[in-house]
Amino acid sequence: MMIDPIELTRELIRFNTINPPGNETPCAEHIGGILERAGFSIAYHPMEDGRANLIARIGGVAGKKPLCMSGHTDVVPLGAAPWSVAPFAADIADGKIFGRGSTDMKGGVAAIVAAAVELAPRLEGTPGLVLVITAGEERGCQGANFLVQQPGVLGEAGALLVAEPTSNRPLNGHKGVLWIEGRATGVTAHGSTPEHGVNAVYKAARVIGRLEGLKLEDGRVLKGGLPTLNVGWFHGGMNINSIPDEAKFGLDIRMVPGLTDTEVLAQLAEIGGKDVAFTRQGYSEPVFTEPSDPWIASVHEVMAEITGERHAPGIATYFTDAAALTKAYGNPPTIILGPGEAEMAHQTDEFCYIRRIEEATAGFTEIAKRWCGV
């Protein structure tokens, strides 16, 4: 049984899985049907009505855990800008497939499925494969976190490949994310007599000014590049003719290995002083596997042979389902590798290059063959 990854990508794009609301079940069932016909055992794990996660397994042998390949089926909203192509028609032009989710990440999911189906007849008596196809990744890895919370559902994996968009460059993990809220308080007064109040917006603004250009790494060389900080939102005051007695803002900090949330919060507390108090709103650790790991080195070798490009080790700036899955599987070597273009993710007129999907399919097939020894 053979699957054309290009046609499968187009089929998957045509499922409208914009999150919210998601409605990933029909797409997951389409994938599950293909895998079941190829000999995989299939299990659906809905986290809500219409929002199924899919786990598919084949093979299995004592002594070596299976290879896990993972992707998500939900996509982000279309945005306010008009599209020049129909976002769910999966049109092909100039060597590209257009459509919401083409790059992030239905092209990657199609490549996983095509590779798995091709190898399926040869995987009995081998370590085998487990495919984890999630819902709800785009809003905080909801599906992956849901699966982690279900005892025994994920099983085991000896290595993890997540097919997020990397232009087929193997990345040894991804940055973590730390979300923090800053809050300044003041004293309200009439807008015509500001001397009678304490303006919380001014307090917050002074601290935000000190955050711009802050080097969280403090001169250290850390694995995976540099951490980043962005002020993502700001709210202050209730009406124009009053002195605001509260101002809040949100920080998005992308973390790298070697930098802890405790350390960052301590730096922020020093900068905020008496003006701004900082509280942690959410945290996901970075994922990183050393380049010296034999499986990681093998993946780099495979993709260099297929693409003709050899890249230095790096990590993705965005976070992925690996944040949940890698830890749940006991921290096996993890690679982020997929055919999409990272700069096209979430963009108007999103597309994925056809050749990248073909390269990814060939790469995933070879990676799985080597893992399973076939």
**In the chain, what are the domain boundaries?**
5-174+286-372, 176-284
Residue 225's pLDDT is 86
Residue 222's pLDDT is 86
Q: 24-52: per-residue pLDDT in tens?
A: 999 999 999 999 999 999 999 999 999 99
Q: Would the pLDDT of 219 be above 90?
A: no
Q: Find out whether 230 and 220 touch, Cβ atoms under 8 Å.
A: no
Please, which pLDDT band fits residue 135 given cuts at 50, 70 and 90? Answer: very high
Sheet hosting strand 129-134, strand order edge to edge: 41-48, 51-58, 129-134, 67-72, 159-162, 334-336
Catalytic, 138? Answer: yes
Sheet hosting strand 351-353, strand order edge to edge: 92-93, 96-98, 351-353
Residue 111's pLDDT is 98
Residue 339's pLDDT is 98
Q: 139-166: per-residue pLDDT in tens?
A: 989 999 999 999 999 999 999 999 999 9
Q: Would the pLDDT of 63 be above 90?
A: yes
Q: Which among 298, 283, 35 is positioned nearest to 159, based on CA atoms? A: 298
Residue type, 327: K
Q: Would the pLDDT of 75 be above 90?
A: yes
Structure tokens at 75: 């996509």
Q: 294-339: per-residue pLDDT in tens?
A: 999 999 999 999 999 999 889 999 999 999 999 999 999 999 999 9
Q: Would the pLDDT of 93 be above 90?
A: yes
Secondary structure of 244-256 in HEC code, one letter for each residue: CCEEEEEEEEEEC
Q: Would the pLDDT of 221 be above 90?
A: no
Q: Which among 239, 251, 253, 252 is positioned nearest to 201, based on CA atoms? A: 239
Residue type, 186: G
Q: Which among 225, 37, 49, 21 is positioned nearest to 139, based on CA atoms? A: 21
Please, which pLDDT band fits residue 218 given cuts at 50, 70 and 90? Answer: confident
Residue 168's pLDDT is 98
Per-residue pLDDT, averaged over 69-85, amounts to: 98
pTM of the model as a whole: 0.93
Residue 220's pLDDT is 86
Q: What is the mean pLDDT of the chain?
A: 97
Residue 110's pLDDT is 98
Q: Would the pLDDT of 224 be above 90?
A: no
Q: Residues 5-174+286-372: name the CATH superfamily.
A: Zn peptidases (3.40.630.10)
Q: Would the pLDDT of 172 be above 90?
A: yes
Residue 5's pLDDT is 98
Per-residue pLDDT, averaged over 3-13, amounts to: 98
Q: Would the pLDDT of 129 be above 90?
A: yes
Q: 255-290: per-residue pLDDT in tens?
A: 999 999 999 999 999 999 999 999 999 998 899 999
Catalytic, 321? Answer: no
Q: Find out whether 237 and 193 touch, Cβ atoms under 8 Å.
A: no
| Catalytic choice (104, 118, 137, 138) | 138
285 or 102: which leads in pLDDT? 102
- What sign does the dihedral 176-64-370-114 (CA atoms) show? negative
Per-residue pLDDT, averaged over 220-230, amounts to: 89
Domain 176-284, CATH number (from 3.40.50.1110, 3.30.70.360, 3.40.50.620, 3.90.550.10): 3.30.70.360
Residue 357's pLDDT is 98
DSSP assigned state of 132: E
